[in-house]
Amino acid sequence: MSPVGRSLGRIAIVDDDADLLAQLVWALKGEFEVVTAGDGVAGRELIASEADLFLFDLRLPPSGRIEEGLGLVAEAKRRDPDATVVVMSGETERLAALQAIALGAFDFFQKPVDAAELKLILRRALERRRLVSENRELRRAALERPAPGRIVGESEPMRRLAREIAKVAPSDASVLLLGESGTGKELLAHAIHEDSPRRRMPFVAVNASALPEGLAESELFGHERGAFTGAVASRPGKFELAQGGTLFLDEVGTLSAGVQAKLLRAIESREIERVGGRRSIAVDFRLVSATNEDLDDRVAAGTFREDLYYRINAVPIRIPPLRERTGDVALLARHFLERYAARHGRPVRGFSAGALAGLEAYPWRGNVRELEHVVELLVLFSEGPEATEEDLPRALRRSPTAEKSSGSLPERIAAFEKNLIAEAIAAAGGTKAEAARRLGLDPNQMKYLCRKYGL
């Protein structure tokens, strides 16, 4: 048994032909770390070592029979069901090679050895090994990950949503989640996955709007080595990583026309082709898509394929914005407070009546995500065991309607103006220039009013 070199991975070769063994080592040592054995007994010892790939001849000493090589294949798969094995056979032993495939071998090739063909097969086998490993990690993470938070809410819109999720989750139908930004579309996609027969397989989430320009196709469908500048190795895409599980495509309406065409083919044929590839790869996935846009308008404008729209829209589910479920604000706020108090080790345990009133009166244009962000800030900056109204961001402390009940006319006008500007700044994510644009103010007016009211 002898090691030679190191590169792409470790390959264990078992063959009794010393000349052929030397030829294989010479051909592969520049790309692989190679360890070798010359018979079935030493081959079994080699199986116990760590190797990325196994390459077995079928006729081996001590018996010299095909069963010797088949036994090595079975032993390798017994020790590691994900072991990647390639077998060598003579020209008249195709049936034996197929028996090896039935035992779990990845591929075979016939002697005499063609170095280029062998390297191609081994690179594909190594790529398969990486893909299996990544899928195993995703499955492990799915099993170890605490169950994603179930739908939090007792309002009628959320009860209706929960009923819809319960009905569609056990099926394999494509789902389109419709909702404003921050309504929890990925959480709902998780809930569909966790209640489906695919729950033990990977859940792979992709934000289509965040995919780099020109690389979206590669990210989703993978690429072959040399497909483009920088593609130094073959790489599986999100469809392959989601094998057997759920693929969640958020902001699906932002996909380019070319990616839309490949997505349609993947949905219809359950096959993909990597960028730069020439072979079809079978994929098994459940598709959940999401958008905060009106895809009907995009279809009418010709920027989204109508045939793809009907494919992803088999079951449309609308997620209500937080303003339509204000009765859930206090429930959600307590849920987030418990989470972030534990995460940050803070002593905050609840909200004062004034703080809850401020949270419930706010319009929450950013929906649940905005509420979650505000509650985390309260947990971090509140000084006592209770978050009070004084701890709230300025825009949430008092609504214009609350100011109407007291004070002189100038005081009421000032209070209204102050709150209007504060809410505009909050809705613009803290960007005063954007808030000024929305209010129809020029920058100098905005600066003056912010100084006037301490904003």
- Over residues 115-143, the pLDDT tens digits come to 888 888 888 888 777 777 766 666 555 54
Cα-Cα-Cα-Cα dihedral of 217, 222, 227, 232, to 10°? 130
Tell me the pLDDT tens digit for each residue of 64-113: 888 888 888 888 888 888 888 988 877 677 788 888 888 888 888 888 87
Spatial separation of the C-alpha atoms in residues 144 and 116, rounded to whole Å: 42
Sequence-distant (6+) residues with CB within 8 A of 436 are 442, 443, 445, 446
What is the homologous superfamily of the domain 10-136 according to CATH?
Answer: Response regulator (3.40.50.2300)
Sequence-distant (6+) residues with CB within 8 A of 371 are 322, 329, 332, 333, 336, 359, 364
Residue 300, burial from CB neighbour count under 10 angstroms (0-12, 13-18, 19+):
exposed
Overall average pLDDT of the 231-239 stretch: 84
Q: Higher model confidence: residue 282 or residue 227?
A: 282
Q: Higher model confidence: residue 172 or residue 153?
A: 172
Cα–Cα–Cα angle for 317, 186, 181, rounded to 5 degrees: 75
Here the tokens at position 210 are: 């965040």
Structural domain 321-396, CATH architecture: Orthogonal Bundle (1.10)
pLDDT band at 241 (very low <50, low <70, confident <90, very high): very high
Q: Write the single-letter amino acid at 39.
A: D
H, E, C per residue of 95-132: HHHHHHHHHCCCEEEECCCCHHHHHHHHHHHHHHHHHH
Spatial separation of the C-alpha atoms in residues 3 and 28, rounded to whole Å: 12
Tell me the pLDDT tens digit for each residue of 99-113: 888 888 888 888 887
Here the tokens at position 246 are: 């759920």
**Residue closest to 104 by CA, chosen among 86, 89, 122:** 86
On average, the pLDDT of the chain sits at 84
Spatial separation of the C-alpha atoms in residues 371 and 373, rounded to whole Å: 5
How many other CB atoms are found less than 10 A from the CB of residue 187?
Answer: 16
> What pLDDT was estimated at residue 170?
94
pLDDT band at 149 (very low <50, low <70, confident <90, very high): very low
Statement: residue 3 has pLDDT above 70: no
Domain 398-455 has CATH 1.10.10.60: yes
Residue 426, burial from CB neighbour count under 10 angstroms (0-12, 13-18, 19+):
buried
Q: Residues of CATH 1.10.10.60 domain(s) within the chain? A: 398-455
> What pLDDT was estimated at residue 207?
92
| Least confident among 1-10, 152-161, 333-342 | 1-10
> What pLDDT was estimated at residue 307?
95
CATH, domain 156-320, list 3.40.50.970, 3.90.190.20, 3.40.50.300, 1.10.287.1060: 3.40.50.300
Percent of the chain with pLDDT over 70: 90
Q: Residues of CATH 3.40.50.2300 domain(s) within the chain? A: 10-136
pLDDT band at 227 (very low <50, low <70, confident <90, very high): confident
pLDDT band at 309 (very low <50, low <70, confident <90, very high): very high
Spatial separation of the C-alpha atoms in residues 170 and 431, rounded to whole Å: 44
